[in-house]
């Protein structure tokens, strides 16, 4: 790799900070087990801790597949086997509400083809889910992971399982299933099976007091377009727990804190087909399986994320399938995911490459900036 070309990463990220688009950010690139670029910009430091939001989801996929490899679940299991809230489910669309024709399975959850959406008004089912969530918040001051998972089951589906792809609370339900099968709090399971073995000492659903000063503030744009620090209520509205105390619930879809260093270890494990520095988390064939597109051509038609042009999806991650549609000089088979405040990671098995990027702007993902970073990194390969 021509590391001199990587200096352009510094230029574009310093520009993001100096122009006021970001208060700070961090980037770590590794190639063939060598750290070829690591730098933090603005107010951020190399050991800064970030709320990674939906970058929690790939961790949940790995947790699920750990149980899969142990024979403790079947991908075709109906989730009502583990969560009673999913018994007698219905579908609610523009034609009204009716019983499901077939039950949601674990595989549907992993591929976001379950029909479970988020509590929002994009779908009739989402609006109904939103009503349930508001009532749930009034009735439950300290909900558990399993209670929240069962709440999701009370909401109708937006479509028949397997019919389409829709981003939603599927990963949160998986967290409840892992908790049910393992008999452990979800965060404790992750700590035992993933974080401690990989040496991810700063990753979890809660920050100890001596780490809280390293947490990067979350920002949003005000009416004038300036970045301002957001309130705790803003975070609570996104089901993101504040680090002031240990949370009563730990969701599979969001809520983890981490660092670029820690998440690079997780990405390194994926790159090395389940093993990192002699520690085995999953088997090679399982990583090969989960890093493939799992959607049918019909399911792919319902993907509307602008970050997924040219990508398929499977096991809570995007997978590169068409470089032209993606406008990318990256590799077919590159995969990863991102988070609401602009956090992002990718794993490229072909080039033995990983990229971890962190920032903290709520709804602040800049697709053009991500493409530029990727373009520079791939353009540096010899």
CA gap 246, 314 in Å, rounded: 31
pLDDT tens string 306-344: 899 999 999 999 999 999 999 999 999 999 999 999 999
49 torsion bin: left (phi>0), alpha (psi -120 to 50), beta (else): beta
Reply yes or no on whether the pLDDT at 243 is more than 70: no
Task: Give the max Cα distance, the chain.
Answer: 60
**Which domains, and CATH codes, for the chain?**
7-55+186-379 (3.40.710.10), 68-182 (no CATH)
- Alpha carbons 99 and 25: distance in angstroms, whole number: 47
| Predicted confidence (pLDDT) at residue 31 exceeds the cutoff of 90 | yes
The reported pLDDT for the residue numbered 246 is: 83
pLDDT at 239: 54
Residues 6+ apart with CB under 8 A from 105: 75, 76, 77, 78, 79, 161
Q: Residue range 284-296: average pLDDT? A: 98
Mean pLDDT of 238-247: 67
């Amino acid at each position: 790799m021509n590391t001199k070309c990587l200096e352009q990463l510094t230029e574009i990220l310093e520009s993001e900070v100096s122009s006021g688009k970001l208060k700070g950010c961090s980037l770590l690139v590794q190639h063939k087990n060598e750290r070829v670029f690591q730098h933090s910009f603005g107010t951020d430091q190399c050991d800064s801790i970030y709320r990674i939001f939906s970058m929690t989801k790939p961790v949940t996929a790995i947790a699920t597949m750990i149980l899969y490899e142990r024979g403790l679940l079947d991908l075709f299991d109906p989730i009502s086997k583990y969560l009673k809230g999913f018994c007698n489910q219905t579908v609610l669309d523009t034609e009204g509400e009716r019983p499901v024709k077939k039950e949601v399975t674990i595989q549907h959850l992993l591929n976001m083809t379950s029909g479970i959406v988020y509590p929002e008004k994009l779908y009739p089912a989402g609006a109904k889910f939103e009503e349930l969530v508001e009532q749930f918040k009034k009735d439950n001051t300290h909900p558990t992971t399993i209670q929240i998972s069962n709440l999701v089951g009370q909401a109708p589906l937006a479509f028949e399982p397997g019919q389409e792809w829709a981003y939603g609370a599927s990963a949160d339900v998986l967290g409840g299933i892992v908790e049910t099968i393992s008999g452990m709090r979800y965060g404790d399971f992750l700590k035992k099976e993933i974080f401690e073995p990989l040496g991810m000492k700063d990753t979890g659903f809660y920050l100890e007091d001596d780490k809280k000063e390293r947490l990067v503030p979350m920002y949003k744009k005000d009416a004038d377009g300036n970045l301002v620090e957001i309130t705790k209520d803003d975070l609570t509205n996104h089901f993101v727990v504040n680090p002031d105390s240990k949370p009563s619930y730990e969701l599979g879809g969001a809520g983890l804190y981490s660092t670029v260093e820690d998440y690079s270890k997780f990405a390194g494990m994926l790159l090395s087909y389940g093993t990192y520095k002699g520690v085995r988390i999953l088997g090679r064939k399982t990583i090969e399986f989960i890093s493939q597109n799992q959607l049918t051509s019909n399911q792919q038609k319902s993907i509307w994320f602008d970050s997924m042009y040219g990508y398929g999806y499977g096991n809570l991650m995007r997978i590169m399938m068409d470089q032209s549609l993606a406008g990318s000089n990256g590799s077919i088979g590159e995969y990863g995911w991102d988070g609401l405040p602009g956090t992002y990671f990718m794993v490229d098995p072909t080039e033995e490459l990983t990229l971890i990027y962190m920032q903290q702007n709520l709804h602040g993902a800049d697709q053009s900036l991500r493409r530029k970073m990727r373009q520079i990194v791939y353009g540096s390969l010899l």
